[in-house]
Amino acid sequence: MANNFFKTFVFSTLAICALSCGVQNKRLQEVYRGVPFKMEQIKEPSIPSYTVTVTDFGAVGDGKSLCTEAFARAFEALEKRGGGRLEVPDGIWFTGPIGLKSHTELHLADNAIIVFSADQDLYPIIDTNFEGLDLKRCLSPIHALGATDIAITGKGVIDGNGAPWRELKKRKVGDDIWKATVKSGGVLSDDGKVWYPDEGYKKARLTAGSLNKQADSLDLQEIKTFLRPVMVSLRKCENVLLEGVTFQNSPAWNIHPLWCKNVLIRNIIVRNPHYSTNGDGIDIEGCENVVLVDSSFDVGDDAICIKSGKDQDGRRHGMACHNIIIEGCTVYHGHGGFVIGSEMSGGAHNILVRNCRFIGTDVGLRFKSARGRGGVVKDIWCRDIYMKDIVAEAVTFNLYYAGVSSTEKGEAPVDEVLPPVDETTPEFKDIHFDHIVCSGARQAIYINGLPELPVTGLDFHNSVFGAKKGVTIQGAGDVVFDNVTVNGVTL
């Protein structure tokens, strides 16, 4: 009897797995239908069936025992076997950074929560790239460099424990959060409006201004908190899968695939506090062949962002972001729902965004860059986008972006002397919008291009906007409106 039960259980489990895989494969095939550019279908990572559990290597899921060495030993063991899956059971797993190896999968059980320690000694300063520049920053909590066939899967939660790393602006939070943060330690800005984790962070911020690059003369160990890492850093990796997991509370950006190829992201949840500085959801930078589907974002900065490097560093790397499909995603709080820029020096093309919802987002579709960046952004399609209660613009192009939030604008100076068009001049062209529906926004469409190289090839079709203000266009060539209404008036 027991043997028959075991056989039934195994066959049932296999049947469920086969059904799940079949549904996933069908969904992936559907994503490629109607794509207006050529793109090879992404294959999932090749990972051996060999499985180990993190408890096999001494990890304790009590939320206080440090599991850094256990995770390291587990991945070393998998690497020696040629790869496999590391299972993280139900529990709270407190740890330092985790490094993924080729042909390995980090799999979280339904009630598994990985929480990263804020102990800076666990995060050495390394050479990396952040906000499009080659910089020194702290090692990311989850990281991989040059790995092939890697995955993070399951139903659990990965928490970056980002609050001890981040500065906090008083205007962004209520009195309860502000008072609790100030009481926890740290220092205030001279005007008392910003909280910093420590004096080193404050010193770095004063030299960096609104940017995240401090003066070169500062001692990096003294300002280490300022060098806060992105939570998930995947650099130069190929064949990547992120599926099912909740990624939240990152020190800086949440997920950052950089110069990667063949990346599949589906059914993930990305969360950061609305007040988290640089709390982006996902920044897909200089990547080729990326599919992001059926995921949700509720974050403190741009939610789904395309980047390709900044200024001279970005142009030198020359890694365009291309062949990207984003479908079936929902964005709640965020500076932008779908965003291109502002680090666009390597360019971007062949990008499709469709069947997405932006609810309460600052801006829906946000395109931004600035003089000095360079790069060509072209062949972008945005289709079947539904927006509600947008704080600022439903669609915006701002080529005068200066590091301000999406609810502020960089404006063209009056009677400015135009610079020559050269490699540092950003170019945006051939960008198409179809069936955009917006119910509530401060403005429907705002286009602020550069007079020396206007935005060209923009067209809007079959779209409906409800907004306090209609359309503003400057620094752009002819913009086509076909069956487009704002507050019931046809453009």
> How would you classify residue 453: left for phi > 0, otherwise alpha for psi between -120 and 50, otherwise beta?
beta
Q: Which two tokens stand for residue 115?
A: 């929480």
CA distances from 249 to 162, 238, 272, 276, 309 (A): 5, 26, 5, 8, 24
Under DSSP, the state recorded for 277 is T
Note whether 252 and 159 are within 8 A (CB): no
Q: DSSP assignment of 184-209, as one string?
A: TS-EE-TTSSEEESSHHHHHHHHHHT
Note whether 131 and 26 are within 8 A (CB): no
342 preceded by cis ω (within 30°)?
yes
Active-site positions? 301, 335
Q: DSSP assignment of 412-467, as one string?
A: PPTTPPPPPPSTTS-EEEEEEEEEEEEES-SEEEEEE-BTTB-BEEEEEEEEEEE-
Q: Taking the mean position of all CA atoms in its chain, how far away is CA 402?
A: 20
Handedness of CA 391, 157, 25, 143 (dihedral sign): positive
Note whether 102 and 147 are within 8 A (CB): yes
Cβ neighbourhood burial of 44 (10 Å; 0-12, 13-18, 19+): middle
